[in-house]
Amino acid sequence: MTGVLAPPPQGSDLKPVPGVPGIPYIGNTLAVMRDPIGQARKRYDAYGPVAWGWLLGQRTCTVQGPEAAEAVLVNRDKAFANGPAWSYFIGPFFNRGIMLLDFEEHLHHRRIMQQAFTKARLRAYMDAMAPGIVKGLDAWEPGQGFKVYDHVKQLTLDLAVDVFMGVELDRAERDRVNGAFIDAVRAGTAYVRFPVPGLRWHKGLRARKVLEEFFYRHLPAKRRDGGDDLFAALCQAETDDGHRFTDEDVVNHMIFALMAAHDTTTITLTTMAYHLAKYPEWQERLRDESLALAKPQPDYEDLDAFTGIDMVMKESLRMVAPVPALPRKVVKDTSILGYHVPAGTVVVVPMLSNHHMAQWWPDPERFDPERFSPERREDKVHKYAWAPFGGGAHKCIGLHFAGMQVKTILHQVLQRYRWSVPARYEWPLDTTSLPSPKDGLPVRLDRSEQP
């Protein structure tokens, strides 16, 4: 049965937000999680760019298209808050991470954190990553059934330890910390959102304690000794007027940053690997580009030469946005594209499905990196047509680090290996949490000197 979210104020020319509430609390949660792009198309066709329904236990207003995304993400009248929206999903596990702060407090923390992502710091991180990439990729064993997602996730988690933590850990301790991050992320989309032993929410709460204990244990040495890693950078970061992070701030930001860095990079690299396996002509084009550099490890200044990798990365981020949806909580009555949205509403910007809207992207299901070539630049049709890193004040602070890491890793993979999938293979993408292949993306991996 169709219903409206809330009637507009008397005398207002705003429209009520339409939708189909369905079963209270449950609504169409299962359908959206299984087929977010298909469900988004049905919703848009039926109700237009702004519609509501029940999602994961909340009355949720979903806004589709770049114009609606801009209204919410730019947030000119400060009506949309990150903290209360994200806290519902990941608050207990990533408490007071940079994405969960708002307005002046967020800006204050971001100014300090920006010191950890200067060009000089990025160069240092890139140098710190190099040995770990070589070690990780050399350990890959060619053959049939090589699971790309699992190996890339292990690599990015190990690199996060090296580059972000700068702490020497044995394999058992690395695995313990890595496992805690995995449990904390998966807890965010738990159906049962209270601590039942053995279920996602309970595992996430235990994981948070593991991570807090780990960082507090190593923090005094980082404060004392410094270093080229993110942990040290956050301990040392200071604004021009002398503001620094407390110990609690550092721990909160480290837990969030490590989650954000390794998960999104893993998804991006896996999506790229899938399409480069499906379209071997692109794989060869990128390999030629990397071999032309004539360096086993690129320098920071070399990254701009990877124009092919850049186009494939952007198209992969379009096809599978690593953060599929951006939620906000409405803190005062507002409007979106002429629709009345009352205070207390949860608003979601679904980047995963926005990137597949035929109104903005010709033939959106086709892998076509040339969309991002200088001649075409289809993403320029609207500032928010392509926004995998969000936008506005909360635009991802680590986006340049992410691009650097993806290009650096893929450059070395291309020089070492070729990979392929059967002609009719289509990956089964799991969208119930952050998007990932259910089968781990099995490929045939060969050393690059082999045909």
Per DSSP, the residues of 265-286 read HHHHHHHHHHHHHH-HHHHHHH
> Is the pTM of the predicted complex or chain greater than 0.75?
yes
Q: How confident is the model at residue 352 (pLDDT cuts 50, 70, 90)?
A: very high
Q: Name the phi and psi angles at 144, rounded to 5.
A: -85, 145
Q: Enter the tokens of residue 218.
A: 């190593």
* 447, β-bridge pairs: 417
* Residue 390 exposure: Cα atoms within 13 Å on the Cβ side: 21
Strands 58-63 and 80-81: unpaired
Enclosing H/E stretch for 15: strand 15-16
* Spatial separation of the C-alpha atoms in residues 127 and 201, rounded to whole Å: 37
Q: What are phi and psi of 20, to 5 degrees?
A: -120, 105
450 band by pLDDT with thresholds 50, 70 and 90: very low
pLDDT-based confidence at residue 364 (cuts at 50, 70, 90): very high
Please write the tens of the pLDDT for every residue from 225-269. 988 888 999 998 887 788 889 999 999 999 988 877 788 999 999
> How many angstroms separate the CA atoms of 451 and 23, rounded?
56
213-227 pLDDT, tens digit per residue, is: 999 999 999 999 988
Helix (H) or strand (E) holding 98: none
DSSP E strands: which ranges in 39-116?
Answer: 50-55, 58-63, 80-81
How far, in Å, are 140, 204, 236, 241 from residue 323 at the CA level? 28, 19, 29, 34
Question: Considering just the CA atoms, what is the radius of gyration of the chain in Å?
Answer: 22
Over residues 169-196, the mean pLDDT reads 83
Query: Using 50, 70 and 90 to split pLDDT, how confident is the model at 387?
Result: very high
| 11-15, 308-312, 434-438, range with greatest mean pLDDT | 308-312
The Cα 199–Cα 204 span in angstroms is 9
Q: Are β-strands 15-16 and 339-341 bridged in parallel, bridged antiparallel, or unpaired?
A: parallel
- Measured CA distances, 103 to 75, 110, 251 (Å): 10, 10, 21
The secondary structure of residue 378, as a DSSP letter, is: G
- Look up residue 289 and give its amino acid: E
Collapsing DSSP to helix, strand or coil, 50 comes out as: strand
Residue 25: its pLDDT value, please? 67
Does position 381 have pLDDT exceeding 80, yes or no?
A: yes
Which of residues 193 and 234 earns the better pLDDT score?
234
pLDDT tens track for 265-320: 999 999 999 999 999 999 999 999 999 999 989 999 999 999 999 999 999 999 99
* pLDDT for the residue 287: 97
What whole-number distance in Å separates Cα of residue 301 and Cα of residue 106?
Answer: 31
Q: Where are the domains of the chain?
A: 85-326+346-447
* β-pair type (50-55, 80-81): unpaired
Reduced to 3 states, what is the DSSP secondary structure of residue 339?
Answer: strand
CATH architecture label of 85-326+346-447: Orthogonal Bundle (1.10)
The per-residue pLDDT for range 391-419, each reduced to its tens digit, is: 999 999 999 999 999 999 999 999 999 99
Instruction: Decide: 346 and 329 in contact? Cβ < 8 Å.
Output: yes
Adjacent-strand bridge partners of 60: 53, 346
Q: What is the mean pLDDT of the chain?
A: 91
pLDDT at 170 over 90: no
- Give percent of the chain with pLDDT exceeding 90: 69
Which alpha helices (H) appear in 119-199, and where do they start and end? 119-138, 148-160, 171-187
